[in-house]
Structure 1
């Protein structure tokens, strides 16, 4: 199956496999009462999923409609995003995406949608720190020791990702390139199985947003080597940056954005943006974002569109520098 030949039936099958119900046909309820679908192109347990679940109740209240969150993982995020782009542009189907959305064109040979032309950008939400973690059995407590291990065993130390072409894949490839060492990539079908095998010691290290592995760090199931932000995170101030550890050029943050399918009427875009603004003023949401280390900075729709365009160019350069071959 090629990405360009994904059918409605296949989308439904992926949805069923992820434990969610996707209604593609006529609705039994009125258009007025129809809920807002938040289609996530990721599995449960990711940073995007954690953020979405945290803001769901407040966003539902702000929009004035119930919200149904649908995880549609697969093909590194392509399945869910493709489902979004094929939905009706009435403001009732939205998605929260991350850097993956603009990384796809640089790391995949074929993408079945235009990451700019087939969406309606609504707002960049903000950024979150990326943390390099190792399993508790690996004898490394900082980047110097981890790099020494990779130098001693070229290609034998491996790193996990949530799938080929995802941000964890690119971030780890960038770290390996910056360190001047070799390591093997082990792609998983989502963040949850990736984290499970990291904890179990089946893989050596990986890079994830702080929100996705905060509990595992707190319990000691995973060990943090460093944060890839320019500065330490207020949510985990004990984790040093890679700049502090001698890798000044290894800086990458996760970001999150709300998008819809192409063609949402401007008035509806304005309504959704206003609801987002109200949502992120909620005390509960503010507290949750702080716990996940997310710095909230909502953009306008026009700013979001410009940001997507600039990030497309940025990651094309980073992918080339890190030597990641399109797959």
Structure 2
């Protein structure tokens, strides 16, 4: 179309042409963005596990990743990036493109780390978009097989009889294991010496070898040790009996008010499109509520959580100041 020269020389006409072009360009950009969003996922998705293979984060990420791959029609890759108590791998995801193709498999240690590490390479709230909880459950309180304590009451009584002589293992300073045990100690009024390890593997190995007395950890982390017969479970950390371990007595029966739970979830980089986050949340919630996955989670000592992204985000924001107070009261520090 040819416009009259008089129209083009008119400022009003020029503004109209410019406005029309801007509208057309904006519409084209919108359509391109919508098409890109509708195309997700168009390539493999990576779940970064910030711990070594074999731990609970890894176990759940692999189980859910396989099923997520089936429903999304794209490979879901697991990339173990251990280091710095989980902050190395999580930091990689914080800096990844916010396109829904890179996720972090985290657990409650994400908030306990945030409570005791003031110089994290990311903001635990602002750097991520919480996607979905994979599972939740209580910890198991385990002891070496020859320790003369088979119930929560017997363990508390033994700790009171031998103040400072019993010891407990953790996967490292500031770990959820340490938080769970220090909370137990303060609630029961007992003193048990802390022996930190570099990860769950050496901690469980020394528990099996009889070099430490107590280890409070997740069901997936303790299963091999418990099956070996060299370690015995004496209770669970939930306030009430749990379907994850119906044969175990809650520690709260011997320690009124004591309760500790762990969760596992997926985070995306902040700014990931809301539609992508919602799609992932919906698919993951359907996966964990399926009968096969629910049975798997129960065997591993966990249950579905079923939170929305907003609910998951609110829980993270709520837990960080709570564990900061616990850390201050118990003197928990990574330095």
TM-score range, shorter chain: 0.7 to 0.9
Match of 2:146 among 137, 161, 165: 137
**Aligned match of 2:59:** 50
Q: Measured at CA, do residues 62 and 203 of structure 1 come closer, stay the same or move farther in structure 2, by a change above 3 Å? A: same
As a proportion of its length, which structure holds more helix?
Answer: 2
Larger Rg: 2
Task: Write out per-residue CA displacement over residues 67-113 of structure 1, whole angstroms, 9 at most, x where no aligned residue.
Answer: 11122222221111111112121111111211111112322242221
Give TM-score, length-normalised by structure 2: 0.82
**How many residues are paired up?**
296
Distance 2:241 2:62 in 1: 25
> 2: CA distance between counterparts of 1:44 and 1:206?
20
Q: Does 1:83 align with 2:92?
A: yes
**Which among 186, 197, 203 is matched to residue 177 of structure 1?**
186
> How do 1:196-215 residues align onto structure 2 when only pairs under 5 Å count?
196-215=205-224
User: How far apart are residue 326 of structure 1 and its match?
Assistant: 5.1
1:137-164 deviation line (CA, Å, top 9, x unaligned): 2222223333344334433321111111
Please show how residues 213-292 of structure 1 align to structure 2 within 5 Å: 213-244=222-253, 246-292=254-300
Q: Deviations over 1:217-241 (max 9, x none)?
A: 2442311121110112223211101
Contact 1:130-1:227 within 8 A present in 2 as well: yes
Kindly indicate whether the alpha-carbon contact (under 8 Å) linking 2:174 and 2:333 is maintained by their aligned counterparts in 1.
no
Counterpart selection for 1:38 from 36, 43, 47: 47
- Cα displacement (A) at 1:258: 1.3
In structure 2, the partner of 1:23 is none
How far residue 284 of structure 1 moved from its aligned partner, in angstroms, is 2.5
Equivalent in the alignment of 1:305: 313
Q: Distance in 1 between matches of 2:334 and 2:225?
A: 32
1:63 aligns with one of 72, 88, 92:
72
Which position in structure 2 is the counterpart of 1:9? none
| Unmatched segments (≥5 aa) in structure 1 | 1-30
Q: CA RMSD in A?
A: 2.0
Task: Find 2:327's aligned residue among 310, 319, 322.
Answer: 319
Residues 12-59 of structure 1, C-alpha deviations (whole Å, 9 max, x = no match) = xxxxxxxxxxxxxxxxxxx97642111112223322222222222111
